[in-house]
Amino acid sequence: MFWQLALLFFATTLCKAVYELHFSRLSHIPGPKLAAFTRLYELYYDVVLRGKYTHKIAEMHSQYGPIIRVGPREVHINNPDFYETVYALRGKRNKDPWFTSNFAVPKSSFGTLSHDVHRSRRSLMAPYFSKARVQRIESTILAKVDKLVRRLEEFVHSQQPLRLDPVFSCLLVDIVSEYTNYKCFNYLDSPDFQPIWADTTKDLSECAMMSRNLPGVFGILACLPRRLVKQIYPKLITVMDFRADCIKEVAHMFHNTSDSKEMAEVKICQEPTLFHDLLKLESSPDAEERVLHEFISIITAGTETTSNTLTAITFHVLNNIKIKQKLRDELYQAFGDGNAMTWTELEQLPYLTGVIYEGLRLSYGLSTRSPRVSPDEALQFGDTIIPPNVAIGMASVIMHHNETSFPDSHKFMPERWTDPEERRRLSKYLVAFSKGSRSCIGRHLALANLYFTVSTMFRKFEMQLFETTEDDIKLEHDIMLPRPRLTSKGVRVIIKRPIV
């Protein structure tokens, strides 16, 4: 019996290999034969080597050309001018279930596979993230940034090194939670800046990557006793606890509307909040689960990517005295007597804008590829026809290091963006927020957070890097989000003194 099963397995595997390599719809697209045959090729690079498949894809492009097959049903393209065809504003684009199901938020806008269902869900939320709406809540952002300034002043006296990613994560969680919810989480009040939150988001992204490559494993683990899960894969405990906290928060929203009204009365900004208006709009039986999934995706996606960008900007500015001085000079001249500036006014500062755009370029947003599927039409790339219902990816990491678009791409150069015409041209290739009908819905909120935080930090404080090198910011592991070397202690600074 054993030999019969072994023979059957071998025959099935051989037939699948022959089909994928010679008869499948993608057999004409070049790439490693093992990648075309099985996802185990990717599993080796992403699970065994910890997030190395994006690096491997870049190597594959060097060997095979601008279009390659990176999975049995997936191709990857390295041609910046083709990005807006794959990530189209018009035309149907579904998400690939193999990439999306691992986030475990299928009823969120982010996790929705179908183009039409996504359009319906996104249309309910889009008004809350418009540029006009964000401009109306600038007071909320400024209040949180001012609170951050007061917290950082505490470190002037202690001269203790401060790891930046938890600091920025706390700031952004407080902004996003107050903006979208009826209350602020107040993580900035934490004496140590709640490092558990920054670690939780890292664990979330790692679990998502692992579950993509090992489907079903985490579902089984979650059913085991907690103490056993802690021994097998302790990071899953953090994720399970986070989800449980989110469930409680959303349940409280649904069943304690009087609390919501009381909290709303003391908010700095009286704009309606996303989640409470969603409660009114959602009438389906699974409304609570729908709001839960949006809550999880917005709180996590809205904080970690922007935190990464702020961390990258701070490192690169402090690591180059000329860049720091140019930025300071522009800020001092613009602020003059110290009065606050609006987001619109800050956007007119060319060097600040260059610093922010270059920070976005070198922090990548979502570093992993997020493929799109054209369900109805074939796409043509040069002489190659890509059939319908094929996942097509273009990773931001590879886009942002295309030397044709961005010469000397690994160098932090704000000057790339200071000329308005050149900025418009290069913006086509800046995809930290993705593009098209499924681009990041929180783009305007993220940009406002970046402008207010960067302009305040470098105007208010003298900072110095502490035992931090480029290895602590350089992408070494693509674990859904960019990660440096595993031994890194993060970007750390000493707050030398406040600038009066």
Question: Does the residue 439 lie in any domain?
Answer: yes
CATH code for the domain of 352: 1.10.630.10
Cβ–Cβ < 8 Å for 386, 378: yes
pLDDT above 70 as % of the chain: 90
Residue range 296-352, pLDDT digits in tens: 888 888 789 999 999 999 999 999 999 999 999 999 999 876 778 999 999 999 999
pLDDT at 230: 83
Question: Does the residue 449 lie in any domain?
Answer: yes
Could you tell me the residue range of the domain that residue 459 belongs to? 73-498
Count structural domains, the chain.
1
Any known ligand binding at 269? no
CB count within 10 Å of CB 274 equals: 22
Tokens 């305040």 found at: 456
CB count within 10 Å of CB 125 equals: 20
The residues with which 423 forms a beta bridge, in sequence order, are none
Question: Does the residue 64 lie in any domain?
Answer: no
Whole-number mean pLDDT of the chain? 88
CA distance 393 to 371: 4
Residue range 70-101, pLDDT digits in tens: 999 999 999 999 999 999 988 899 999 988 87
pLDDT at 266: 45
CB count within 10 Å of CB 139 equals: 14
Cβ–Cβ < 8 Å for 472, 485: yes
pLDDT at 500: 56
pLDDT at 300: 84
Residue range 236-254, pLDDT digits in tens: 888 888 888 888 888 887 7
Residue range 354-396, pLDDT digits in tens: 999 999 999 999 999 999 999 999 999 999 999 999 999 999 9
- The whole-angstrom distance between residue 461's C-alpha and the CA centroid of its chain comes to 27
Residue range 162-220, pLDDT digits in tens: 999 999 999 999 999 888 876 788 889 988 887 777 778 888 888 888 888 888 777 78
Q: Please, which pLDDT band fits residue 497 given cuts at 50, 70 and 90?
A: confident
Question: Does the residue 51 lie in any domain?
Answer: no
Question: Does the residue 412 lie in any domain?
Answer: yes
| Dihedral angle computed from the Cα positions of residues 263, 269, 270 and 275, in that order, rounded to the nearest 10 degrees | -60
Question: Does the residue 65 lie in any domain?
Answer: no
pLDDT at 19: 61
Question: Does the residue 54 lie in any domain?
Answer: no
Q: Please, which pLDDT band fits residue 16 given cuts at 50, 70 and 90?
A: low
Question: Does the residue 42 lie in any domain?
Answer: no
How much is the CA Rg of the chain, to the nearest whole Å? 23
pLDDT above 90 as % of the chain: 59
